[in-house]
């Protein structure tokens, strides 16, 4: 059975609510990307669900930092990007495409949940940006939108179905590899989780470049 983790970056709490709905549906761990954790924590993970408000400057910076930390691990993972924000059906795929280009993964899927804007929750920097936008466009900035919790539930159900597909589980490939490598020594990269079978570890990890001497030995 594939293992999934939901990670999120939030500033006002909306992305966290969406992430929690998804993790409850998938019955898996849900963590903030600010939480320090080693690469080993992703070794046994097959699917990474990343939830963030893609328009927030703070969340964008922290999300990029997180992706840079796990960039090598993503190459062997299924990544599901869930954007939360306002009126972004055209913009979000562009942002998601840039993320996938800079952080390639085994499979890549995107979903979007409409967010909200509450003026009283904004920080001074955000208010200043909106004020400038209002002056340029002549548009009045006021409370708008509601966090679409029903859509979040729908997205959670769609993700549950998605990770149960053969493309994500890839069980046939796993079974074939297990049969072919039965009885061989299993070597595991401590950084990205790459698995090598043979009498000796590789000279270097083909995914992240870690020296073979750092590989951990496990009898298959």
pLDDT tens track for 89-110: 667 777 788 888 888 888 888 8
Instruction: Give CA 29 to chain center in angstroms.
Output: 13
Give me the domain span that covers residue 42: 4-169
Q: For the whole model, what pTM was predicted?
A: 0.67
Which residue has tokens 């029903």? 150
Q: Are residues 140 and 186 in the same domain?
A: no
> Are 30 and 128 contained in the same domain?
yes
CA gap 98, 134 in Å, rounded = 28
pLDDT digits (tens, 9 = 90+) for 42-58: 777 889 999 988 665 56
Comparison of pLDDT for 58 and 64, the residue scoring more = 64
Per-residue pLDDT tens digits for 112-137: 898 776 666 666 776 777 677 677 77
Domain count, the chain: 2
Same domain, 131 and 144: yes
Residues 140 and 194 both lie in one domain = no
What token pair was written down for 65? 């930092």
């Amino acid at each position: 059975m594939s293992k999934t983790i939901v990670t999120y970056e939030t500033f006002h709490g909306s992305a966290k609510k969406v992430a929690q709905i998804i993790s409850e549906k998938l019955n898996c761990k849900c963590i903030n990307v600010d939480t320090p954790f080693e690469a080993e924590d992703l070794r046994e993970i097959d699917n990474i669900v990343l939830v963030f408000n893609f328009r927030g400057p703070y969340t964008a910076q922290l999300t990029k930092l997180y992706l840079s930390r796990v960039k090598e691990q993503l190459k062997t993972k299924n990544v599901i990007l869930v954007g939360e924000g306002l009126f972004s059906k055209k913009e979000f795929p562009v942002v998601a495409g840039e993320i996938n280009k800079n952080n390639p993964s085994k499979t890549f899927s995107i979903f979007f949940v409409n967010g909200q804007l509450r003026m009283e929750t904004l920080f001074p920097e955000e208010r200043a940006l909106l004020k400038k936008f209002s002056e340029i466009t002549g548009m009045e900035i006021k409370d708008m939108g509601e966090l679409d919790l029903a859509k979040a539930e729908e997205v959670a159900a769609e993700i549950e179905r998605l990770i149960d597909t053969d493309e994500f589980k890839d069980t046939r490939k796993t079974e074939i590899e297990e049969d072919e490598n039965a009885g061989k020594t299993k070597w595991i990269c401590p950084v990205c989780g790459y698995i090598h079978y043979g009498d000796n570890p590789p000279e270097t990890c083909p995914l992240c470049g870690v020296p073979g001497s750092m590989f951990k030995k496990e009898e298959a």
